[in-house]
Structure 1
Amino acid sequence: MVLSVQALGLVVLAAILLQTIAVAVSFMYFSRVLNTMQENFSQSSVSCLINVKLPSEVVDSAAEDKNSDPCWQVTQQLHYLIEKKIADSFQKEISSAVSNKLTGVLPVLHPGIPGVPLPKVGAHVTGVASSLKPPIEESSRSTTGYFGERIRAWEGQRGLSFLQNMELRGGELLVPRAGLYYIYAQTYFRLASTGDPETEEGAELVQYIYKKMSSYMGPILLMKSSRSACWPQGQEPGLFSLHQAGTAFLQPADRLFITVSNASAVEMDGRASYFGAFLVS
């Protein structure tokens, strides 16, 4: 009986020992296999990156072949990440550059802020709000050489306006340097109600930008903007605005001025009626 118990104990001990050895051998084997697979995968990934061809060098193949190729998937993902990073960085730099440029050439957007640069040569003049109509010179093409009625009441020093190396004389901006200039203007019209429901007449609103040259007798039309508007028939007035902008080469001593049709309807609010120019290059 004692021998049987001892024999049983030896058998159990031998079984445990064999099981332990089997587990250890299995662990070592699978560890080696995993290391081999990891090494092969790493070499394969590096090979994909080293031997990869640029999209322009890749020979066209079936879409299913590309999708099943691990190297193609790895490189496509890498290309996507690189392109996205470059695009984000480029967009950020461009946005910053554009913002800085606009702030520099149009300081009226941020008037009076320290550190905001003014353009080297530029001006933004605004309408003068008054209970009286601004001095507007009535004219005809035959006698003055330009269309419309000339606006002379512009503010160049206060509020949103500024003059930087330019002068404002009698409603004209005097150009000090030769170069390419960006020129813009806006006028705001308030058409009073006719009070007659039967009225069907319309108003033709026109805004002109002219330049005067010392070497030429008559003014030269640079830009024109127009729109047709119906006279309001209710109690409220009709509100309309004309805006235009463009570039032109100007010479020293050239002068810029604005004329409009229906001058008596122009409202000279500084935020609604204005014009200006600045040197681009």
Structure 2
Amino acid sequence: MAISISLQCLGLIILAAILLQTITVAVSFMYFNKVLNTMRESFSRSSVSCLINTNLHSGLEESAAQEKKSDPCWQVTQQLHYRIEKTMADRFQREISTAMRNKLTGVLPFLSPGVRGAPLPKVAAHVTGVISSTESPTAEGSRSSRGYLGQRIRAWEGQTGLSFLQSMELRGGELLVPRAGLYYIYAQTYFRLPSTGETEGEVKGEETKEEEGVQLVQYIYKKMSSYMAPILLMKSSRGVCWPRGQEPGLFSLHQAGTAFLQPADRIFITVSNASTLEMDRRASYFGAFLVG
């Protein structure tokens, strides 16, 4: 009987100890949880205050600037600003469309296909002049039997040097369009007018020629398989005077624009005064690329 009472007392004592320990753990948990919440709120208020009150502008004295750099609040805001700027820059780079990069590449035709980081448009061409490509000029303002004005330039280079052909063909001085779309077309021609030479034996006719000057004209034509006569897309002109003295006169014509082209369409360039044309590959060129 005494042993049974002792076991009951021992069980009660153990149960009371477990209950007391549970209560103690619960109270401790509630206390530390309250402390953590208080610290979190305090930290949040201090962080917001830090972001609001910190002045990141320059203009401080060197000693004050050094002291500020050691401030943890200043360091946090600096890191935050850095992360924001980096994220915005990365997002901007990702959102630049491939079409826009291709347009920029096409506008700068001297970027060759071998340059890293300079992707070419899917359909593009840049052809350059060949030194031996001058031909006899056609009278300016008259239309030839083939239906276009000026003298046609046939000798273009499309494979070497600064030139390239990307899904386009060059045939007889014409760029062949492979597919329908809106194309950006550009051309430049360079003229070297010889000096008349002011000598004592200069005749009156030469003086009249100097006074009248010369009209330089550049044409961009489109030829369609369904239409016999070429269609004039663009024209650029410039009136210049024949150079006096011993130095030649150097002039250039440049034009660019967009046109909708169909498959098998061809584009080519004609000029007035073709005998004065300077076919240096960096001075005379033309090309096109698909915009959309």
Tell me if both proteins adopt one fold, taking TM over 0.5 as the criterion.
yes
Q: Secondary structure at the match of 1:200?
A: helix
Q: Secondary structure at the match of 1:109?
A: coil
Aligned partner letter, 2:253: L
Q: Which residue of 2 is the match for residue 189 of structure 1? A: 191
Give the alignment of 1:131-280 within 5 angstroms: 134-135=134-135, 138=138, 140-141=142-143, 143-196=145-198, 198=207, 199-280=210-291
Q: Give the drift of 1:119.
A: 1.4
Are the structure 2 counterparts of residues 159 and 142 from structure 1 closer, same or farther at C-alpha, using a change threshold of 3 Å? Answer: closer
Structure of higher RCO (CA pairs closer than 8 Å, 6+ residues apart):
2
Are the structure 2 counterparts of residues 142 and 190 from structure 1 closer, same or farther at C-alpha, using a change threshold of 3 Å? Answer: closer
Q: C-alpha distance in 1, partners of 2:103/2:264? A: 27
Aligned partner letter, 1:180: L
Are the structure 2 counterparts of residues 136 and 256 from structure 1 closer, same or farther at C-alpha, using a change threshold of 3 Å? Answer: farther
Are the structure 2 counterparts of residues 162 and 96 from structure 1 closer, same or farther at C-alpha, using a change threshold of 3 Å? Answer: same
Are the structure 2 counterparts of residues 260 and 95 from structure 1 closer, same or farther at C-alpha, using a change threshold of 3 Å? Answer: same
Q: Which residue of 1 is the match for residue 123 of structure 2? A: 121
Query: Structure 2: which 5+ runs fail to align?
Result: 1-43, 52-84, 200-206
Q: Secondary structure at the match of 2:145?
A: helix
* Structure 1 vs Structure 2 CA RMSD: 3.7
Q: C-alpha distance in 2, partners of 1:129/1:261? A: 17
**TM, length-normalised to structure 1:** 0.63
Aligned residue pairs total: 214
Q: Give the drift of 1:200.
A: 1.4
Q: C-alpha distance in 2, partners of 1:164/1:134? A: 26
Q: C-alpha distance in 1, partners of 2:137/2:101? A: 39
Q: Give the drift of 1:101.
A: 4.6
Task: State the percentage of identical aligned residues.
Answer: 75
Are the structure 2 counterparts of residues 187 and 107 from structure 1 closer, same or farther at C-alpha, using a change threshold of 3 Å? Answer: closer
Q: C-alpha distance in 2, partners of 1:152/1:109? A: 24
Contact 1:111 1:160 survives alignment (8 Å):
no
**TM, length-normalised to structure 2:** 0.61
Q: C-alpha distance in 2, partners of 1:263/1:94? A: 46
Aligned partner letter, 2:272: S
Q: Which residue of 2 is the match for residue 11 of structure 1? A: none
